[in-house]
Amino acid sequence: MIRIGQSTDIHRLKAGKPLILGGIKIDSELGIVAHSDGDCLVHVIAEALLGALGLGDLGSHFSDQDPQYKNISSLVILKRVCDMMKERGYEIVNIDSTILIEKPKLSHYIYKMKEALSKTLTVDPSQLNIKATTGEKVGIIGRQEAVVCEAVILIKERGYDE
């Protein structure tokens, strides 16, 4: 049995906040406004995984109203979601993700993000793709008001080989 999940997340950007994407702190004047560390990329991967498992959305498991998740590393949340997947007998086939942010350019951070995420997900980095693009100075991305991330994930039952 194979299953697919997808997710999109958006967070406001604000001066003086940290910008963490893919488990990596990014040098930036603007950072993410959020209850947790706001790692938008990790959020979409975790939520896409929950979707593939048929377990709802991220907020139903990790509420932004719950004080235990205040400033929590999103990698901790992702690890918990991975544990849910393993308990149900599934493993990741591959993940494709996109980060939409005007600045900064992320090309030299992608490798570090893949390392951090593949370690947390316990997958080979080749199973994880991360792309980054700008808003071409258009809309909320182009005006540097927000960051948007998207992810699609394919999982399979352990032992399933077609």
* DSSP, res 54: T
CA 158 → CA 85, 86, 161, distances in Å?
10, 9, 9
The full set of domain ranges for the chain reads 2-155
pLDDT for 157 equals: 96
d(CA 67, CA 63): 9
Q: Tokens representing 151?
A: 């992810």
Nearest 5°: phi and psi at 12?
A: -70, 150
Q: What CATH number should be reported for the domain whose range is 2-155?
A: 3.30.1330.50
- On the question of pLDDT at 5 being above 80, the answer is yes
98 contact partners, CB below 8 Å, separation of at least 6 = 130, 131, 132, 133, 149, 150, 151
pLDDT tens digit string along 88-131? 999 999 999 999 999 999 999 999 999 999 999 999 999 999 99
d(Cα 146, Cα 114) in Å, to the nearest integer?
A: 22
State the pTM of this model. Answer: 0.94
What is the structure's pLDDT at 36? Answer: 83
* Tens of pLDDT, residues 16-70: 999 999 999 999 999 999 888 899 999 999 999 999 999 999 888 987 777 777 7
Q: Which residues pair with 153 in a beta bridge?
A: 5, 95
